[in-house]
Amino acid sequence: MAAFHLSTFAQNDKVINFLFPVKTDGIENKVTSVFGESRGDHFHNGMDIASTGEPVLAMAEGKILYSRFGEDDPFGEEFGTGNSVWLDHGNGTYSSYYHLKDGRLPGLLEERLVAGGEKIAYTGNTGHSSGAHLHFVLLKDFGKTIQDPMKVLPIVEDENPPVIGNLLIHQDEYKYSQVNDGDNINISRAFPVTVGIQDAGKKSGQRRGVSQIQVSLNGQLLKKASFSNLHYEKGEWKNSEGFPFSDLYFKDQYLVGNLDFRNGENVIKVLAWDFRQNLSEKTFTFYVNRIR
């Protein structure tokens, strides 16, 4: 069975110096997913680092809290996390490491401290994973808050701002219309409106999410939302401003809102920041004919 240790280490007041959890070169090209992205019906709760067979390191000194590997139950259904290790760093701070390569390293079944930077596994492709990578999660407040790891890890270089793409009006679950700057559209009622935003970072072709968005309609602020942490409230995870997943995403795009446009000129302004605070801005001006 999996190893789990009740922790008393969380009572200390040590200052934690965080390290990257993968020993790899070119980290700026290997961060493939960031915190808070859409996963269809839930938030991405960590960061993904593309890697295969490389050492996974403890991000800081910590106590082994939990580990589960396929060898614990070779005939059982594999968890979505795959092989995983959890560490307790004190003050209610936990880190978890998912999709690890088969084969638990010696000492992970012991109730002991590991040093910051100590090897605890190798990167793999176990569980629900479409390619070899480490899914890394950072939790605060004894698991009640999930934090963006990029806020506390060493800096990942990225000088390129996000790219703001299409504005879409969704008539139903599957049908939508694209709105371009200068378009004339006929509309009868309020519809969900979304915008596509992607951050490639330094590696062209990557499609990462952003850390903050701000949207206004006709000069009035509609939404300001950030993805620095998630907290559990009334049965669902919410972002820093209290938005649940369904208020921030629709069909994997960022949800502007359920908008009832006025007749005539309408202006939507979108601002987006990536995790390095590079800023992009885009304005859509279009003309609406209200029909009955």
pLDDT at site 76: 84
d(CA 2, CA 94): 17
List beta partners, residue 146: 139, 230
Please report which residue ranges of the chain form alpha helices under DSSP H.
245-248
State pLDDT tens for residues 195-216.
Answer: 999 998 888 778 999 999 999 9
Task: Please report the pLDDT score of residue 82 as a whole number.
Answer: 96
Query: Model pTM?
Result: 0.90
Domain with CATH 2.60.40.10 in the chain: 163-291
**Annotation: CATH topology of 27-151:** Glucose Permease (Domain IIA) (2.70.70)
What does the pLDDT look like over 110-119, one tens digit per residue?
888 999 999 9
Ranges in the chain annotated CATH 2.70.70.10: 27-151
Give the pLDDT confidence score for residue 16 in this predicted structure. Answer: 62
User: In Å, what is the CA distance from 40 to each residue of 78, 209, 250, 254, 256?
Assistant: 21, 13, 8, 12, 17
Predicted pLDDT of residue 201: 84
Q: Give the pLDDT score at 49.
A: 96
- Residues 251-286: b if buried by 16+ CB within 10 A, e if exposed: eebbbbbebebeeeebebbbbbbbbbebebebebeb
Q: What is the per-residue pLDDT across 236-290, written as a single tens digit (0 to 9) for each?
A: 999 999 999 999 999 999 999 999 999 999 999 999 999 999 999 999 999 999 9
Sign of CA dihedral 171, 194, 203, 130: negative
Residue 71, judged by CB atoms within 10 A of its CB (0-12, 13-18, 19+), counts as exposed
Q: What residues of the chain score a pLDDT lower than 70?
A: 1-16
The mean pLDDT of the chain is 92
Class of the CATH domain delimited by 163-291: mainly beta
Whole-number Å distance between alpha carbons of 149 and 47: 7
